[in-house]
Chain A
Amino acid sequence: MNQEEFIIEAKNLIKRSILKDNLIIFFTRVLEDLKKNENSCLFGRIKDLYYLINPYQDSTKKEIYSFFKNDFGCNEGLILDDEEKLFCNVLFSNLREDFILINGKVMKGRILGIIKRLILKYFPNSSDIVEPFIFAKLICSVGGVDRLIQLPSSTIQLIGAEKALFRHKSKKTNSPKYGLLYLSRKIQENSNKGKAARQISNKLFISIKLDYYQIIAQ
């Protein structure tokens, strides 16, 4: 038996399993960091992205910086299009050597635009139901689309309200009706917010599966 055959086959299967939703998670987490502090160090986030693109390398801080500053290629892990490389270059052109952004205030708006374009590209059905940034937050809090499609609609309704849910279970307070979906305009304009949240989560339950199996999994 040859060990190399096993390693090559495992590497090919891993390549398929690293999906494009990781890029959306990266940008939303960067945006959430910048909202807390505009001068926050982004080394941890960028390191995660680097090891998605080059999973089998051990690199130093300087090597990671120089990799993204030049035109980078991707073979073993996450593969990026030309458009997605452009999105990355928007971020990395404004990055200093200590992994702090030069102009954090302006970059917040740009990253929000990038997230919108990525979600419209990969989740066209579900972006009709909720706003793109809220949907990106949903993916981010669960940790991936492959986990999100396994959840029932009642759980999708309450993502982000875990603290209130467990308080309800232990101390018997009122149960929460909505989590992160509350930020959506459709719920805020509606007078009966609990009912609207339930309807939206039911619709999302179907649309996420459509997007996943039609676009992302292929």
Chain B
Amino acid sequence: MPNDETPLLRCAEGNFILKMYHKWIPEKSKWKAAYDKGLNVNLNLNDNVLYLGASSGSTISFISKYTNGIIFSVEKSPKMIIQLIKKSIKIKNIFPLFCDARNIDYIDSKLKNTKINILFQDIPSFDQVEILINASKLIDNDCKIFFSLKTKSISQVDSYDTYKLVKEKLTNFFEIIEETSLEPYHKFHWFFILKKK
């Protein structure tokens, strides 16, 4: 992955003011926060990404620079996906999908057996782990899984306890390669890099 100093958006190349505004900030993106924390979240040139919980597409607009593959971005809220569609008209490898991330059948019909290299999940919901386990049916065993966990959306009790509980659940289905807390950038968040067993 390139350094911070490289121009981040294609349209922003050579424009100093745009470069300043479109900086990839770890406080706003969990992918970048994990990268700054020292995890191996790098992309290859032809990787296809399935991004669950795309929101307005601020992270996706940066990721799209580093791959030539397709980024399938799933989002449920209509207000957010309108902004994502605006971005996808400009950037050609963002494919928006307006559906619930729990609805695997619909996503599977849209993927049409394309091989996915990276699955990213960032849905702050109480059944966050179940969504990931469900979505892992769409991918092969060699696919990387990036999972950002928001403990406070699962329970309001001590966040370290919920982190332990989630970790136990994950070990039944996945092999944990790397993990950290995203503490200075995002409070009560953890980041996992997983692989299917």
Chain A residues within CB distance 8 Å of chain B: 1, 3, 6-7, 9-11, 13-14, 17-18, 55-56
Of B19-27, B80-88, B184-192, the one contacting chain A is B80-88
Given known A-B contacts A3-B88, A3-B95, A14 and B82 have beta carbons under 8 A apart: yes
* Nearest 3 interchain pairs by C-beta: A10-B98, A6-B95, A13-B98
Residues of A within 8 A of B82 (CB): 14, 55-56
B81 touches A3 (CB 8 A): no
Bound complex: CA A17 to CA B78 (Å): 7
Nearest A-chain residue to B84, judged by Cβ: A10
Binary per-residue interface labels of chain B (81-112) against chain A in the complex, 1 for a CB within 8 Å, 0 otherwise: 11001101100111111110000000000101
A18 touches B95 (CB 8 A): no
Q: Whole-angstrom distance from the CB of A54 to the nearest CB of chain B?
A: 10
Q: Whole-angstrom distance from the CB of B90 to the nearest CB of chain A?
A: 11
Residue B70 at the chain A interface, CB threshold 8 Å: yes
Residues of A within 8 A of B99 (CB): 13
Chain B residues within CB distance 8 Å of chain A: 70, 78, 81-82, 85-86, 88-89, 92-99, 110, 112, 114
**Interface residues of B: mostly helix, strand, loop or mixed?**
mixed
Q: List 10 A-B residue pairs with CB atoms under 8 Å apart, sorted by A's residue number.
A: A1-B112, A3-B88, A6-B95, A7-B85, A10-B85, A10-B98, A13-B98, A13-B99, A17-B98, A18-B78
- Interface hub of A7, A10, A18 (most chain B Cβ within 10 A): A10
B96 touches A10 (CB 8 A): yes
A11 touches B114 (CB 8 A): no
Q: Whole-angstrom distance from the CB of A74 to the nearest CB of chain B?
A: 15
Q: Whole-angstrom distance from the CB of B121 to the nearest CB of chain A?
A: 20
Determine which of B86, B94, B95 lies in contact with A1 in the assembled complex, contact meaning CB atoms within 8 Å. B95
Bound complex: CA A55 to CA B93 (Å): 22
**Interface residues of A: mostly helix, strand, loop or mixed?**
helix
Nearest A-chain residue to B95, judged by Cβ: A6
- Interface hub of B85, B86, B92, B97 (most chain A Cβ within 10 A): B85
Bound complex: CA A105 to CA B113 (Å): 62
Q: Whole-angstrom distance from the CB of A2 to the nearest CB of chain B?
A: 9
Bound complex: CA A13 to CA B100 (Å): 12
Nearest B-chain residue to A1, judged by Cβ: B70
Nearest B-chain residue to A18, judged by Cβ: B78
Bound complex: CA A14 to CA B76 (Å): 10
Residues of A within 8 A of B92 (CB): 3
Q: Whole-angstrom distance from the CB of A25 to the nearest CB of chain B?
A: 13
Q: Whole-angstrom distance from the CB of A169 to the nearest CB of chain B?
A: 13
Q: Whole-angstrom distance from the CB of B103 to the nearest CB of chain A?
A: 12
Given known A-B contacts A56-B85, A56-B86, A7 and B78 have beta carbons under 8 A apart: no
Determine which of B78, B93, B110, B114 lies in contact with A14 in the assembled complex, contact meaning CB atoms within 8 Å. B78
Bound complex: CA A10 to CA B83 (Å): 12
Residues of B within 8 A of A11 (CB): 85
Bound complex: CA A29 to CA B182 (Å): 39
Residues of A within 8 A of B114 (CB): 1
Nearest B-chain residue to A13, judged by Cβ: B98
- Interface hub of B78, B81, B94, B112 (most chain A Cβ within 10 A): B78
Bound complex: CA A9 to CA B109 (Å): 13
Residues of B within 8 A of A6 (CB): 88, 95-97, 110
Residues of B within 8 A of A14 (CB): 78, 81-82, 85, 98
Residues of A within 8 A of B93 (CB): 3
Residues of B within 8 A of A55 (CB): 82
Bound complex: CA A84 to CA B178 (Å): 56
Residues of A within 8 A of B81 (CB): 10, 14
Residues of B within 8 A of A7 (CB): 85, 88-89, 96
Q: Whole-angstrom distance from the CB of B45 to the nearest CB of chain A?
A: 18
- Interface hub of A3, A17, A18 (most chain B Cβ within 10 A): A3
